[in-house]
Structure 1
Amino acid sequence: MMAGKRLTNPAGSSNDLRGDVLRVLGVLKVATADQIQRIAAPHLTYRHTMKATASERKTARTASHAGALSDLRKHGLAENGGTTRVGETLRNLTTKGLEAASYELGRPLTEMGSTARGAGSSGATHPMAVNETVIAMLRPKPDLRLLTGEPAEAKAAAQAAVDAPAGIGAIASYATEVPLPATGTWGAPGKGGAQADIAGKVIRASLRTASTIIKRQGGEIRSYDGDRVMGIFIGNSKNSDVAKVGLQIHYAIDEIVKSALYAELPELKSGGFVPEMCVGIASGEAFIARAGVRDSSDLVSIGRAPNVAAKLSDIREPGYGYRTYITADVYGWLNEDSKLCKGVDMWNSYRPQIGGEWMTIYRSSYWWSV
């Protein structure tokens, strides 16, 4: 009879919420409490819907995982690693936390990759894009049994999520910050795995399409940032021109890019993955400067307009079809072609909190063919 050493959980606890955090951060490496909750406990997305503001609802539904993150920080397993461009706290694991995550995921520590420390110092734009791509592929399903006391509208939205096509794999099926050995071994990996290849093709096709439309309508490309492209329009009709661009991008992604991706990557369609792109539009003055060092510099935009536009492009309202968001100033300058469709206003207003500021904006679910 042989005796072996008992395996000890490095997390020091069997708490389910801590396990949620360790599993998600063990894969994504850096994420917000909101992203952790949406993956690990999707039913919470449909709770607290009666609270007055989106900010209050998010705080309530992420409170449990935020508490688990606090506990893990006390044990030296997790840490805060900066903020996103919209002010959300970024979380990542320490080296000790990565070891605990390997236990939760059932992976050897040698297959866990790095902790991604420092990724949040510049807003972690690329990791955030990767995270949202992973969530879109996972399509987490809420447990309807945990929503029996919620309002009818919330339960209907949760039911719609359950009825939607299944996602691709579970969070433990993915890996970031580590070679994906589709061929070879972990020690000597070959070409990267399928999920990384798929994400790259989706982002590349979307950015190329958006950039082409911007250029064709008289805009200039200022920069690319992760899965985002920034265009600049000038002239007397700039507001109407760029609103049209937003509606055309909606059309192109839904009617052109999606079918092309499905033809090349049929696993996207069978897995229920739907490519989408949101456009944020703001108008105003911006200071453009070249920053960096010799032979390694880029243009940067300083001002309210580019900052607000970036925040608007981050808005996600699943199930409503909205893809284009503009400020009230832009709406006020729209000509009839960019405002009305057969006499009906294509835009409706609402007042969300954008980057800590309450702001009246307009959104549209309409598209414009190209």
Structure 2
Amino acid sequence: MAKAAILEQPGKGLTIGEVELADPAPHEVLIDTKACGLCHSDLHFVDGAYPHALPAIPGHEAAGVVRAVGSEVRSVKPGDHVVSCLSAFCGQCEFCVTGRMALCMGAGTRRDADAPVRITRNGGETVNQMLNLSAFSEQMLIHENACVSIDKDMPLDRAALIGCAVTTGAGTIFNAANLTPGETIVVVGCGGVGLAAINAAKIAGAGMVIAADPIPEKRELAKVLGATHTVDAMAEDAAKQIIKLSDGGVHYAIEAVGRQASADLAVASLRRGGTAIILGMMPLDCKVGLGAMDLLGGKKLQGAIMGYNQFPVDLPRLVDFYMRGLLDLDTLIAERISLDEINQGFDKMRDGHSARSVIVFD
């Protein structure tokens, strides 16, 4: 049995309860969860903005220790420290074999519909697994292609952040933007993902890193992580400020909130030939576009799900960046909480004044 935070009904918070995890199938890994960050993507499901089969266990930004593995698992072994990643990959589809693993739909990494489910409660009731992980739980049962082994010297509370926020934010800089040293960038939204993108832009040698956020505390955090300039994202002339600072607009504009206005600001901040990259989970009816003059100016618009990561390679490198003092994960953690405090953690996220809350399991 494992204690978990369960979503029973959107808008009603999470309920702490006991669940039972099945024995690992041949390609599955059972993990003792040690830390899990609270991500805004979880909040979309908790509050009902995105639908999901219920009851379910959210949580997807986690690190832990392998307890047991299935008979065919070769990538990790019991005792390994691992970070999980929601972009589980099959290794065989068009996206995997062309190096775009983050676009893989994960065929074969979930149990078949007629197979016993991974998580149950009350003697057999199905508990749905969210994003292939369900990390708000003392244990996770996942496919081996949804985790990677890391250096055991890496603190697991900081390693957890690499599972989503840092992989998405930093991956966008290193993989999707392919930023050239000296180029300018604005990051709209200084939560966990945005701050990771700012930190990565500094590592990548961006000439100017502008942080746009309406909250002064977030803008100050952005400076600690590498922002050279800050702008109030809610200011009426925010785009004009960014264009003036960057001498005609930025090369890259990254939206890391999931709001229509933030995406529009990112597009409006571009110079000719610039690229806007939308990371946030926007309301499902939102559309982001380029006007005729934007297109004539060679501007580009794209998504970059999970930072276009190739996580079996990217995550150990990001761990190494932290261990070498390049990547600042300590500043990203605003508080460490217990699983029982998860609803209060999401309340703080709704207020929007701090960075990541991280659940630490005993």
Q: TM-score, normalised to structure 2's length?
A: 0.29
Larger Rg: 1
Instruction: Name the structure where strand makes up a greater proportion of residues.
Output: 2
